[in-house]
Amino acid sequence: MPQNHQDRLTPSDRPFWPAARRSLRNRCPACGEARLFERFLRPVPECPACGQSWISHQADDFPAYIVILLLGHLLVPLMIEVNATFAIPLWVQGLLWPGLAIVLAVGMIQPVKGAVIAFQWSRRMHGFATP
């Protein structure tokens, strides 16, 4: 009985953690040679080094949800500790915390989107099912 194509594919063919490390550095999750993003949040259509197509990713809003979750876990304890330790005026905090949140979110969104794309690629989700 012939085997299904999916039966031959295993997660070890495309390990997630090396792909995630490469994508966090804005490198192609498949080969690590070329850039993953051509613009801030737009992946290259195809890796010039290995030929892997990135147009079939479906990261959509999930990277933003991850960034919000991470920011909440980073900023809330920091805000509590700073407020317990220092007497910072409310107007300074009104500028500090939103500004810090924006800077951190902008800095985190591209690596997180790269990791989501790497996860989809490593698990052969959406259009990444073909070898």
67-117 residue pLDDT tens:
999 999 999 999 999 999 999 999 999 999 999 999 999 999 999 999 999
Q: Tell me how many degrees the CA angle 14-63-45 measures, rounded to the nearest 5.
A: 60
Delimit the domains of the chain by residue range: 14-128
> Which has the closest alpha carbon to 114: 52, 26, 3, 16?
26
Question: What pLDDT, in 10s, does the model give residues 1-47?
Answer: 344 444 444 556 899 999 999 999 999 999 999 999 999 999 999 99
Q: What is the C-alpha to C-alpha distance for residues 26 and 21, in angstroms, rounded to an integer?
A: 9
| Contact criterion met (CB below 8 Å) for 59 and 117 | yes
Beta carbons within 10 angstroms of residue 125's beta carbon: 14
Give the predicted TM-score (pTM) of the model. 0.85
Confidence (pLDDT) at 2: 42
What's the chain's Rg over C-alpha atoms?
19
Q: What is the C-alpha to C-alpha distance for residues 54 and 43, in angstroms, rounded to an integer?
A: 7
Q: What is the C-alpha to C-alpha distance for residues 59 and 41, in angstroms, rounded to an integer?
A: 10
| Contact criterion met (CB below 8 Å) for 39 and 26 | no
